[in-house]
Structure formats: structure tokens, C-alpha cells
Amino acid sequence: MKGNGTIKMVCYSDMNVEQLEKEREGLLKAFEECKAMGLKLDMSRGKPGSEQLDLSNPMLDIDLGGSGFKCSQGVDIRNYGILDGLKEAKELISAMIDMDPENIMIFGNSSLNIMFDTVARSFTHGVMGSRPWCKLDNVKFLCPTPGYDRHFAITEHFGVEMIEIPMTPDGPDMNMVENYVNNDESVKGIWCIPKYSNPQGITYSDETVRRFAALKPAAKDFRIFWDNAYVIHHLFNGKEEELLNIYDECVKNGTEDMVYIFCSTSKVSFPGGGIAAMAASKANLEYVKKNVTFQTIGYDKINMMRHVLFFKDKNGLMEHMKKHAEIIRPKFDAVMEVLDRELVPLGILKYTKPNGGYFISVDVPEGCAKKVVAMCKEAGVVMTGAGATHPYKNDAKDTNIRIAPTYPSLEELKKACEIFVLCVKLASVEKYLQ
């Protein structure tokens, strides 16, 4: 990459027009050179790389017939039966999310699907006896922002009014959350990724979790959708973060019916070939089971058993996650090194360093995110669409971009970062020249 280093880390905001124009000239030249290279790189997708997938290959050859295909409940895992999942699979998920196995139900391969079905069920049948949401004039969800586009897509699909709640370093702005939840009966839910959040990698503080558990919702059918997607997905960089157990806090407040907890092994074993689970109060689970009885005879117990035999216990899970981290930590480090070296000192990029999860969320100067993503695309680098992290894909300040470092190889990633850096500089310099 050329065109860098001519300016000795002077903030763009401190440059005069002449300096900015000179900077732009060099950047444009570099940009044209990049385009000419015809690259095809991708930093858009929160997908494990193939090296990570290889870690779980032995699971595919595991001997399932050892105990005559019988689970601890005496049922043949190859046949119908056991709607709520194998006891031993509940124990495995229990080790992962620190919930009593009796408060866990195992589903199919996708926690997103469980969340979708949970929203759909609330629309068609209500929540534990409440009026079905499809019969209501107005259903609102709180959306901590930036957040996960597929969460927002579900509620948008059902015509839910989505309300942005700004994220802070401690989690969602709890003053706003309390104000909405405790006063507005049409607020029926909130999307949360409480640990290593998508995209910022923020873990909610103990205080935030306690304030969630202490909510006094105006709506009896208000639920916290606690998507603990990255519960054991540390980068193992010596800064492993702890999340307070919301269910325990809820029990203390007598609000345990207020929270649904979701998780999966999609980024532990195989995306699409993992197992997913929901944890909740007995009352919630009973209601869910009563409804799911109509939906299916049961989920894939064979795949549940594969996971049980492969991971065995908490220790097995954590050792496995360390291997994932060995592969992806250098990728995260590479991205952050470039951002810290090339963009942060220029005052044109802010971000929080994540200690786990799958993403790095950055804020470029206001009004520049779409332009940066478009320029990256022109130069052969696919980024997550600007705005994707916001409800209705509407980032009013046009500032947030999500970087997904796991899927490309380290070499590809470094190349893609160079181009990203160039595009952020170019978009920024043009902004300052306006």
C-alpha cells in the first residue's frame, strides 16, 4: 500500500485544505491501484474459518452405538421420542450456560430459529395466556444498538415497532430500558446479546444485569430475549469476561418468567450442524413445550448425542474453545493492530477492543459508513452493509461498520484491512474537504 506515511499522524480535523487535498491525491492513487488488482476478499460474515471447523471433525466419526443407541432415559436416540431433548444434552448445555438442566430444552440446529418461533408463537398464541400479539394494535421491541441484524429482521418481519436503545460500555442504556419497559404496555420484548455482544463485543456489567432482573414491566407478557450466543467464546487473551447469571438475579426478584435464554453450538462445533437450546423458568418451558408438541415430534437426538460424547463436559467445551481462540485471536489482533496504527491516531475511527465474540465494531466519521463500504466493494472487499447493525438498517449517523475477521485467512484478512484503511481515510478526507 502506498500513500501512507507522508502525513505524520496529524488528525484529519487539524489539517488545512491544502494538506487534505494532498492526502486525497495519494489515497486516490492507491485506491486506483487496489481496484486494478481485482481482489475478492470478504470481511462481512460471522462464520468460522475451515480450520476452526476441522477442530470438530472427529465428532462426525464418533461411535454412537456403544450403548446400543440408548440414551440415559432408556430411549433409542435413532427413534421418535423425548420432545425436550436428551437429558445428557441438557447437562452439556447446562455446563455451557450455567443453568439447571431442568430449565433447559434442546431444539434443532439453530438458536435463531428458536427465537423466531418464540416471536411467532407470541403472535399467534400469546405468552402464557396473554392475548396473542397479532390481535394487538401495537407491539414494540427495544433494540440495543448497534446490534444483530437477524434479530432486528425477525421483529421487522412481524411488523413490530423497533425502538433504538443506545449501547454503552456497560450494555444498553438502562435508564431508557427501564423507562420504556416499566411504563409502556406495548413494549413486549428486548433483544440482548449480553456477552461479547454482536457487533461491539461488550459484556453487560453486573449492574446492568441486576437492573434487567429488577425490571417491573407494564406488560405481563414482556420478555427479555437473552441471546447468549458467545457465552464461552473468549479470545483467551487473558481478559476473559464474566457475565452475571441473569436467571439467578431474576429468581431473587421473583421475575424469573421474564427472561428467555438462548444459545447454540453453532460456533463451537458446526454452524448448521450444531445443537441449539432455550433456557427459561419452568412455567415458560411448560408453555413452550405445550405449543411445540404441535410443531414436531422431536428434534435430532442423534446429533445431540454426538455433541455429548464429543465435548463430554465443561472442561471439554473450554479446551475446545481455547483451540478456536488460538486460530482466531491472531486475526482479531491483526485487524486491531492496523486500526490502531493507521486510523485511530488520525481521529477518524473509534472502536472498543473485544475480548471475545466474532466481531469488531467501528465508528467512522459521521456520514461516511455507507461510502466506506461502497468503496471497499469497489476495491474487491465485501463488508457487512452499513446500517445492518441498526433497526430497519437505518444508522441515522451513518457511522457504524461491523468487521468480521474470522472467515478469511490471516493473509487475506491483512490485505482486506489495508484496503479498508484506505477507504476509511479516503471517505474521511473527502468529508473534511466538503
Residues that bind a second copy (CB under 8 A): 45, 47-48, 50, 53, 56-57, 60-61, 64-65, 69, 76-81, 108-110, 112-113, 116-117, 120, 123-125, 132, 134-135, 150, 153-154, 157-158, 266, 270-273, 291, 293-303
CB of 311 to a second copy, least distance (A): 16
CB of 85 to a second copy, least distance (A): 11
Q: Is the distance from CB of 108 to CB of 300 less than 8 angstroms?
A: yes
Q: How far apart are CA 103 and CA 281, in angstroms?
A: 6
Using CA atoms in the order 282, 284, 286, 289, what is the torsion angle rounded to 10 degrees? Answer: -130
CB of 119 to a second copy, least distance (A): 9
Identify which of residues 18 and 294 has a Cβ nearer to a second copy in the complex.
294
Identify which of residues 238 and 272 has a Cβ nearer to a second copy in the complex.
272
Identify which of residues 114 and 360 has a Cβ nearer to a second copy in the complex.
114
Q: Is the distance from CB of 143 to CB of 224 less than 8 angstroms?
A: no
Q: How far apart are CA 10 and CA 12, in angstroms?
A: 6
CB of 61 to a second copy, least distance (A): 7
Identify which of residues 24 and 307 has a Cβ nearer to a second copy in the complex.
307
CA distances to 77, 168, 211, 248, 303 from 214, rounded to whole Å, are 41, 19, 5, 12, 37
Cα angle 32-34-39, degrees, rounded to a multiple of 5: 135
CA distances to 22, 43, 192, 194, 360 from 357, rounded to whole Å, are 39, 15, 14, 11, 9
Which cell numbers in the block locate residue 29? Answer: 492513487
CB of 150 to a second copy, least distance (A): 8
Identify which of residues 297 and 396 has a Cβ nearer to a second copy in the complex.
297
Identify which of residues 35 and 393 has a Cβ nearer to a second copy in the complex.
393
Q: How far apart are the first and last CA of the chain?
A: 26
CB of 288 to a second copy, least distance (A): 14
The residue to which cell 460424547 is assigned: 309
Q: How far apart are CA 148 and CA 404, in angstroms?
A: 13
Identify which of residues 110 and 186 has a Cβ nearer to a second copy in the complex.
110
Identify which of residues 150 and 323 has a Cβ nearer to a second copy in the complex.
150
Residue 266 DSSP class: T
Q: How far apart are CA 300 and CA 71, in angstroms?
A: 13
Q: Is the distance from CB of 354 to CB of 235 less than 8 angstroms?
A: yes
